[in-house]
Amino acid sequence: MKLLDGKLIADQIKTEIAKEVREQFIDKGLEAPHLAAVLVGEDPASVTYVTAKEKACAEVGFISSVYRYPANISEDKLLEVIDFLNADPEIDGFIVQVPLPGHIDEQKIIARIDPRKDIDGFHPVNIGKMVLNQPCFVSATPMGIMTLLERYNIDVTGKNCVVLGRSHNVGTPVSILLSRKSKSGNGTVTLCHSHTVNIKSIASAADILVVAMGKLGFVTADMVKQGAVVIDVGIHRVPATDTKSGFRLKGDVKFDEVSRKCSYITPVPGGVGLMTIVSLLQNTLKAAKKEIR
């Protein structure tokens, strides 16, 4: 078994981005790419993600800014913030950290983002273009998964791919990317969800198994084919007495037993999570270079 090392690949990509920022922006007297984040409320997971994004921006030489608002901000006021960020020429791309408070229509907010600045790839225009295999911003987690497969030279062509979970931000886009007619795609994909019958037999036939369910330790060794590639997207904080933080991160896959059976596996932590952040940096660079129109 080999680890699909998200830290190693993310660090390589960050080094590549930092070089490009220096050579293509700073040395030419141009402003560095600028990523902005809108943070509504103080949900601890959202605060952690936004902080991690700021840190990653600093590592590659990007400018970053965070627009913080209280959880009771009105939908209209948030739409005004989006309009402001769309119009600000100094901001190349921005994200609105989700989930948003219940009184705000998330889809309405996302639809207001200029697709050319939608570095999360959540806007319907970018999702449509991804389906059509046109240049677009692909959302960060599915993009990070595809990058990991590419950088480890795992060929998807003709493979039996099974995706567990059909969320808009992970499962559904990754199923499209794996099946697209493209160099990194061409797989045969089955997308499973809570209504899927006999998920175990479907999963255990997979050459490539992507798990994005949000169910701690759901995938056990008997659900995995010998030699399969396993991508674990799940992130769970499990209480632990032997760590400083008082918790440990675990995934949707029972790593200890599954890792003995597969050819490649992503660890949690140190796998997909780090690739998600670096993909956002790659999208910001694309936005700054005006590659997506």
Distance of closest approach, residue 293 Cβ to ligand NAP, in angstroms = 27
Q: Is 104 in the site for ligand NAP (CB under 6 A)?
A: no
Which range in 10-18, 73-81, 131-139, 168-176 contacts ligand NAP by CB under 6 A? Answer: 168-176
For residues 176 and 170, the answer to whether their CB atoms sit within 8 Å is no
Which H or E run contains 279?
A: helix 272-288
**35 is written with which tokens?**
């990523």
Q: Is 165 in the site for ligand NAP (CB under 6 A)?
A: yes
Q: How far apart are the first and last CA of the chain?
A: 42
DSSP annotation string for 115-158:
GGGBTT--SHHHHHHHHTT-S-PPPHHHHHHHHHHHHTT---TT
Select from 184, 186, 188, 196 the one that contacts ligand NAP (CB under 6 A): 196
Catalytic residue status for 24: no
Which of 120, 207, 232, 252 is flagged as catalytic? 120
Which of 5, 14, 92, 97 is flagged as catalytic? 97
For residues 63 and 88, the answer to whether their CB atoms sit within 8 Å is no
Distance CA(133)–CA(103), nearest Å, equals 34
Distance of closest approach, residue 49 Cβ to ligand NAP, in angstroms = 9
Q: Is 266 in the site for ligand NAP (CB under 6 A)?
A: no
Q: Is 212 in the site for ligand NAP (CB under 6 A)?
A: yes
Q: Which of 120, 133, 116 is nearest to 287 (CA)?
A: 116
Q: Is 189 in the site for ligand NAP (CB under 6 A)?
A: no
- Residue number with CB closer to ligand NAP (22 or 215): 215
Which residues are catalytic, by number? 53, 97, 120
